[in-house]
Structure 1
Amino acid sequence: MWPPLHLAETEDATGRNVQLLSLLRWLAVGGQLATILTVHFVIGIHLPLAPMLGALAALVALNMIVLAWPHVGAVHQFAMLLIDVACLTIQLYLSGGVSNPFVTLYLLQVVVAAVLLPAWSSWALVALTSALVAWLAWAAPPFALPIEWASRLSTPYIAGSWFNLTLAASLLVLFVTRMVRNLSQHDARLAALRQRAAEEEHIVRMGLLASGAAHELGTPLSSIAVMLGDWRHDAEISSHPALRADLEDMMAEVARCKDILSQILLASGEVRGHAPVRTSLRTFLSGIVDVWREKSGIEASYDHLPPTDPRIVADKALAQTITNLFDNAAEAGASSIALVAALDGDRLVLSVRDDGRGFAPDILDGIGKPYVSTKSRRGAGLGLFLATNVLRTLGGSLTARNRTAGGGEVMLVLPLEAVSIAEEL
Structure 2
Amino acid sequence: MTPTASIVFSGVAGWLSGARAADNASGPADAIARQNMLQLIHLRWIAVLGQVLTILAVHFSLGFKLPLAPMMLVLIGLVVLNLCSLLRLKRATPLGRYDLCLALALDTLALTAQLYLSGGATNPFTTLYLLHVILGAVLLEAWATWAIVALTSFCFILLVAFNRPIVATGLSDQAFFDMFLMGMLVGIVLDAVLLVTFVDRINANLRRHDARLAELRQRAAEETHIVRMGLLASGAAHELGTPLATLDVILGDWRRMPIFADQPDLLQELEDMRGEVQRCKTIVTGVLQSAGEARGGEVRASTLRAFLDEVVADWRATRGGEALTYETDLIAPTPIVAESTLKQVIHNVLDNALDASRQAGSGGARLWAGVRENRLLIEVEDDGPGFTDETLENFGKPYNSTKGRAGGGLGLFLVVNVLRKLGGRASAENLAEGGARVVLDLPLSSLEIGAPRG
TM-score w.r.t. the length of structure 2 is 0.50
Judge conservation of contact 1:232–1:244 (CA < 8 Å) in 2: no
User: What is the CA distance between 1:179 and its match in structure 2?
Assistant: 0.9
| Structure 1 residue 380 displacement after superposition | 4.6
Corresponding position of 1:26: none
Stretches of structure 2 that go unaligned for 5 or more consecutive residues are 1-126, 139-173
- Report the secondary structure of 1:356's partner residue: coil
**Is the aligned partner of 1:368 residue 2:392?**
no
Distance 2:212 2:292 in 1: 24
Partner of 1:256: 279
> Identity across aligned pairs (percent)?
49
Q: Is the 8 A contact 2:380 2:438 kept in 1?
A: yes
Cα distance change, pair 214–278 in 1 and its aligned pair in 2 (3 A): same
CA contact (8 A) 1:341 1:351 kept: yes
Q: Which position in structure 2 is the counterpart of 1:49?
A: none
196-205 vs 316-325, which moves further = 316-325
1:369 CA displacement: 0.7
1:398 aligned residue (426, 432, 438): 426
In the TM superposition, residue 321 of structure 1 has moved relative to its aligned partner by: 1.7
- 1:88 alignment partner in structure 2: none
Q: 2:415 & 2:288 partners in 1: Cα distance?
A: 14
Deviates more, 1:302-311 or 1:183-192: 302-311
Residue 178, structure 1, aligned to residue 201, structure 2 = yes
Distance change in 2, residues 1:291/1:307 (3 Å): closer
For the residue of structure 2 that corresponds to 1:261, the secondary structure is helix
Q: In the alignment, residue 318 of structure 1 is paired with which amino acid?
A: L
Q: 1:184 to 1:330 in 2, by over 3 A?
A: same
Question: Does the alignment pair 1:342 with 2:370?
Answer: yes
CA deviation map 1:323-359 (0-9, x unaligned): 2212222332364532222223332221223343222
d(CA) in 1 for partners of 2:214, 2:440: 23
Change (3 A) 1:267 1:321: farther
Q: Is the 8 A contact 1:273 1:315 kept in 2?
A: no
Residues 274 and 239 of structure 1, relative CA distance in 2, 3 Å threshold: farther
Distance 1:227-1:403 versus aligned 2 partners, 3 A rule: closer
Q: Aligned pair in 2 of structure 1 residues 267, 297: CA closer, same or farther (>3 Å)? A: same
| Secondary structure in structure 1 of the residue aligned to 2:395 | coil
Q: Secondary structure at the match of 2:284?
A: helix
Q: Report the CA distance shift for 1:269/1:385 in structure 2 as closer, same or farther (over 3 A).
A: farther
1:214 aligns with 2:237: yes
The counterpart of 1:191, out of the listed 198, 214, 223, is 214
- Secondary structure in structure 2 of the residue aligned to 1:154: helix
Aligned residue for 2:187?
164
1:310 paired residue number: 334
**How is 1:381-396 mapped onto 2 (pairs within 5 angstroms)?**
381-396=409-424
Q: Distance in 1 between matches of 2:217 and 2:402?
A: 25
TM-score normalised according to structure 1 size: 0.53
**Structure 1 residues not aligned, in runs of 5+:** 1-103, 116-150
State the partner residue of 1:92: none
Pair 240,327 (structure 1): closer, same or farther in 2 beyond 3 Å: closer
1:33 equivalent in structure 2: none
1: distance between equivalents of 2:403 and 2:313?
Answer: 25
Structure 1 residue 268 displacement after superposition: 8.9
Question: SS of the residue aligned with 2:399?
Answer: coil
Matched residues, number: 275
Partner Cα distance (1:320, 1:257) in 2: 15
How far apart, CA to CA, are the structure 2 residues paired with 1:391 and 1:192?
A: 16
* Cα drift, residue 299 of structure 1: 4.2
The 5 Å alignment of 1:23-172 reads 154-172=177-195
**Deviation readout 1:155-205 (Å, 9 max, x if unpaired):** 101210111012101210222011101101111111101111111111121
Kept after mapping to 1: 8 A contact 2:378/2:440: yes
Q: Measure, in 1, the Cα distance between the counterparts of 2:390 and 2:207.
A: 25
1:400–1:410 contact (8 Å) kept in structure 2: yes
Q: Which residue of 2 aligns with 1:78?
A: none
The 2-side partners of 1:297 and 1:245 are apart by 18
**Contact residue 293 and residue 299 of structure 2 kept, 8 A:** no
Between the aligned partners of 1:272 and 1:354, the Cα distance in structure 2 is 35
- How far apart in 2 are the matches of 1:402 and 1:318? 23
Structure 2 contact 391–402 (Cα < 8 Å) conserved = no
Match of 1:323 in 2: 347
List per-residue Cα deviations over 1:78-133 (Å, max 9, x = no partner): xxxxxxxxxxxxxxxxxxxxxxxxxx9xx99xx9xxx9xxxxxxxxxxxxxxxxxx
In structure 2, the residue corresponding to 1:286 is in which secondary structure?
A: helix
Looking at structure 1, the residues matched to 225 and 233 of structure 2 have their Cα atoms a distance apart, in angstroms, of: 12
Contact kept in structure 2, 1:207 and 1:269, CA below 8 Å: no
* Cα pair distance change 1:247/1:332, threshold 3 Å: closer
Q: What secondary structure sits across from 2:185 in the alignment? A: helix
The 1:275–1:221 alpha-carbon spacing in structure 2 relative to 1, beyond 3 Å, is farther
Structure 1 residue aligned with 2:112:
none
Shift of the alpha carbon at 1:232?
A: 9.7
By how many angstroms is 1:225 displaced? 4.8
Task: Give the root-mean-square deviation of aligned CA atoms.
Answer: 4.2
Corresponding residue for residue 7 of structure 2: none
